[in-house]
């Protein structure tokens, strides 16, 4: 009985390519809070007006229009890195940008008269995170077979939720005991740690499926 339970409800989630979806989803779950919610807490602590803080909700706009550049991810090849594969090269590029962007946000030194840097960085991070969403979704569709699709979606949700919880509480504790710069640098390292792109195979059909058909 236990063997049947394990075979049907445990083993499907232990398949390496299914688990890899969770690792990709972890940083994705972190990003919304790190670029929209956490900066608002930071700015509130600095005494910034609520009307100015509320504008940070607008940085999530790239998620609405990500369909506009989704086809380009099938077309544009990343210089030098494209030899690793279309999906993997894009993931490496985007994740590197996310890591550097989070570190830059930690050193943005926001204040009542200095909100532009953190706002611009947050907008760039939003664009990169939306692009990551496109790539990871395509990667999931291409790398998993039909029987693995449900475990894959479950792992995607699990990784996203775990990343969200980490990004909700982690920066607040780190900022309390250290400072906001340390908080964002640590979060950037976590994003890098769980990206996992060098260790995952390029989807077999990665060069054949088009995002425009998804």
Quote the pLDDT of residue 170.
Answer: 95
Quote the pLDDT of residue 200.
Answer: 56
Average pLDDT for 164-188: 95
Quote the pLDDT of residue 21.
Answer: 86
Domains and CATH numbers, the chain: 16-62+80-213 (1.20.1250.20)
The Cα 105–Cα 97 span in angstroms is 12
Quote the pLDDT of residue 147.
Answer: 84
Quote the pLDDT of residue 2.
Answer: 67
Neighbours of 89 (CB within 10 A): 21
Quote the pLDDT of residue 194.
Answer: 64
Q: What is the pLDDT of residues 34-82, one digit of tens each?
A: 998 999 999 999 999 888 888 888 898 999 999 999 999 989 999 988 8
Residue from 198, 212, 192 nearest 85 by CA: 198
The Cα 163–Cα 166 span in angstroms is 5
With a pLDDT cut of 90, the percent of the chain lying above it is 51
Overall residue count recorded for the chain in this entry: 214
Buried b / exposed e over 182-211, threshold 16 CB at 10 Å, is ebbbbbbebbbebbbbeebebbeebeeeeb
The Cα 73–Cα 91 span in angstroms is 10
Residue from 154, 134, 157 nearest 211 by CA: 134
pLDDT at 211 over 80: no
pLDDT at 179 over 50: yes
Kindly give the residue spans of alpha helices, DSSP state H, lying in the chain. 2-9, 16-32, 38-45, 50-54, 72-75, 86-106, 116-143, 149-177, 180-193
To the nearest whole number, what is the mean pLDDT of the chain? 86
The Cα 72–Cα 135 span in angstroms is 11
With a pLDDT cut of 70, the percent of the chain lying above it is 89
pLDDT at 207 over 50: no
pLDDT band at 87 (very low <50, low <70, confident <90, very high): confident
What Rg do the C-alpha atoms of the chain give, in angstroms?
18
The Cα 100–Cα 196 span in angstroms is 17
Q: What is the pLDDT of residues 111-161, one digit of tens each?
A: 988 999 999 999 999 999 999 999 888 888 888 888 888 899 999 999 999
């Amino acid at each position: 009985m236990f063997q049947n339970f394990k075979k049907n409800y445990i083993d499907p989630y232990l398949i390496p390519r299914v688990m890899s979806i969770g690792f990709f989803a972890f940083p994705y779950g972190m990003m919304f809070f790190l670029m929209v919610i956490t900066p608002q807490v930071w700015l509130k602590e600095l005494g910034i007006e609520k009307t100015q803080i509320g504008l940070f909700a607008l940085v999530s706009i790239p998620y609405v229009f990500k369909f506009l550049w989704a086809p380009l991810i099938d077309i544009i090849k990343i210089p030098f890195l494209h030899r690793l594969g279309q999906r993997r090269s894009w993931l490496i590029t985007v994740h590197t940008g996310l890591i550097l962007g989070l570190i830059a946000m930690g050193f943005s030194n926001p204040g009542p008269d200095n909100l532009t840097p953190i706002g611009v960085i947050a907008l760039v991070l939003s664009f990169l995170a939306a692009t990551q969403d496109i790539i990871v979704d395509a990667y999931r569709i291409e790398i998993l077979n039909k029987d693995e699709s449900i475990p894959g979606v479950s792992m995607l949700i699990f990784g996203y939720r775990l990343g969200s919880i980490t990004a909700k509480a982690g920066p607040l504790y780190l900022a309390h005991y250290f400072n906001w710069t340390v908080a964002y640098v640590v979060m950037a390292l976590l994003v890098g740690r769980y990206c996992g792109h060098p260790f995952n195979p390029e989807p077999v059909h990665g060069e054949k499926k088009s995002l425009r058909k998804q």
